[in-house]
Chains A and B, each alone.
Chain A
Amino acid sequence: MGAAPSYTEPRVDVGRWRRDRAELDADEAPSAESATVGAKRAANRAWAASVAASSPAAAPQPAAGERSAADVANARAGASASTRDLHADVPRLQREWLGRFIPPLGGQVKAAVMQLAVRGVMPKFNKYSGIIEWANAFFLCVNIGGDNYRNVFLDDGRRMTWFAQVRMRARLPGNCRVVRLMPLRAGAGVCSCSRRKRRRRRRSRAC
């Protein structure tokens, strides 16, 4: 077993990368394309290939003009939709990214994962959560190593233990609703928000 592979972030102009990805992902209509647009796309493909080759994982190319089932399902969602409303392109992740490091987008490692799962848009997601919910999938984002993480692999990597998030925050309006739905549990049924906050939230039907 060799030493752990090190990762060096390639120098990427994030704005240009996003623009070029959006162009690469756009549908191609050869009959309507002018020669200038075609040349620009060819140049973008060459540039994207050079960026991908600079990644240690040798990121594969997205096939221009190819629309997956997820792309079709996401067509109705807006450009700023949440991951919950979008379909992750699981077959493409399986085909192209299994066992590969996902190059960060301007130092943002989780955002890079989210953008890989859909094409052409940056979905909204909770960057503090370890579970990212999509319309068709869940992404578990797990930190490995260090003293604060207890996730371990068993059976030579065939199984993994995983722990849900531990902190109770009954003060969140959403959790107040959950607590009200669990009257039989110890301590449940009573919202811990202050009376003033409860009154205010009751008016807004949040609590």
Chain B
Amino acid sequence: MQPSQTEASPAIQGLLSGDRAVLLFCRPLGQPYLYCGQLTLVVHDATARPMRFVWELRDVDALRAGPGSDAFDAVVRDAA
């Protein structure tokens, strides 16, 4: 079981402060993690339970231009 996360949780405060890089690793079913680059926080909803965030993928153009473009497109398609 995972611990609770509210706006007061240290990890969430760290994410909201923006003083550290946020990196995204996506794991499609039955596969290892795919590194999808760095994120920038667009908006978060602290009143929602669970807390909801929208992140912008800063490296999406590089992902699409690189050798992992098929893998990334598959991840996007699976999560659509």
Q: Which residues of A line the B interface, CB within 8 A?
A: 1-2, 4-7, 9, 57-58, 88, 90, 93-94, 97-104, 109-110, 112-113, 128-131, 133-134, 136-146, 149, 151-154, 156-170, 172, 174-175, 178, 181-182
Contact = CB atoms under 8 A, between A and B. Distances in A.
Given A154-B54, A167-B1, A167-B2, A131 B11 contact: yes
A5 to B, nearest CB: 5
Contacts of A181: 8
Contacts of B12: 164
A154 B76 CA distance: 9
Contact of B33 (A101, A168, A169, A174): A101
A11 to B, nearest CB: 15
16 contacts: A2-B70, A6-B31, A94-B59, A101-B68, A109-B27, A109-B32, A109-B33, A128-B1, A128-B2, A131-B15, A133-B10, A140-B55, A141-B27, A144-B27, A154-B54, A166-B5
Given A57-B68, A137-B20, A102 B3 contact: no
Given A112-B33, A140-B22, A168-B4, A4 B59 contact: no
Given A100-B67, A159-B57, A168-B4, A137 B33 contact: no
Interface string B22-33: 111111111111
Contacts of B35: 93, 97-100, 102, 113
Interface of B: 1-6, 8-12, 14-15, 20-39, 42, 49-57, 59-60, 62-64, 66-80
Contacts of A161: 52-55
B28 A144 contact: yes
A145 B30 CA distance: 10
A151 B55 CA distance: 11
A165 B67 CA distance: 32
Given A141-B27, A152-B79, 7 more contacts: A99-B62, A142-B25, A158-B57, A160-B39, A161-B52, A161-B53, A167-B2
A91 to B, nearest CB: 10
A156 B60 CA distance: 10
Given A157-B60, A164-B51, A152 B80 contact: yes
Contacts of A97: 35
Nearest to B39: A140
A98 B25 CA distance: 10
